Amino acid sequence: MGLMDFIIRILAATAAGGALGLERESNNKSAGLRTHTLVAVSACIFTLISLRVVDDGGSGDPTRVVGQIVTGIGFLGAGVILHRGANVQGLTTAATIWSSAALGCLAAFGFYWELAAATVLIIFVNTVFKKADIWFLRNPKKGKKTGENKDLFE
């Protein structure tokens, strides 16, 4: 892999992570633009390192690095989850941080169409599903949630 390919993959991870971060930032969530961008770029860099080692004749399996990224980001995501009595906050932000890492890995492997589709889908879920979630909260007879659990998934 040449320098230009490396740069393109890092920029793709930056754009995807930034898009998720902007969505979170626009909703005043604790992890926003910088966090999601850095997670995506870092996951991309770690994956690119493993790909480079294999390309240079070293032994290894780049997918093992991806597995370690998944584990490591889980700890970061746990840091944004707050428990207050029966309410839990930050689950969506934690899941989106995890998604940012996945996008970084997609970029590192050069799966650009998949990266674009996943980015759009994650933003769709965070925006449209949030509106559906709010609608069910305001109309408890139509859904299972009640006003007491309004912060359960955010």
Whether 108 maps to a domain, the answer reads yes
Whether 7 maps to a domain, the answer reads yes
Whether 113 maps to a domain, the answer reads yes
Whether 130 maps to a domain, the answer reads no
**The pLDDT value given to residue 143:** 53
What is the arithmetic mean of pLDDT over 33-47? 96
Whether 59 maps to a domain, the answer reads yes
Higher per-residue confidence, 22 vs 144: 22
**What pTM, to 2 d.p., does this model score?**
0.83
Whether 132 maps to a domain, the answer reads no
Whether 75 maps to a domain, the answer reads yes
* Residue range(s) defining the domain that contains residue 24: 3-120
In the chain, the number of structural domains is 1
Tokens of 142: 């139509």
d(CA 96, CA 31): 9
Residue pair 80/94 in contact (Cβ under 8 Å)? The answer is yes
**The pLDDT value given to residue 140:** 65
Residues in the chain: 154
Phi, psi of 87 (to 5 degrees): -90, 145
Whether 34 maps to a domain, the answer reads yes
Higher per-residue confidence, 108 vs 148: 108
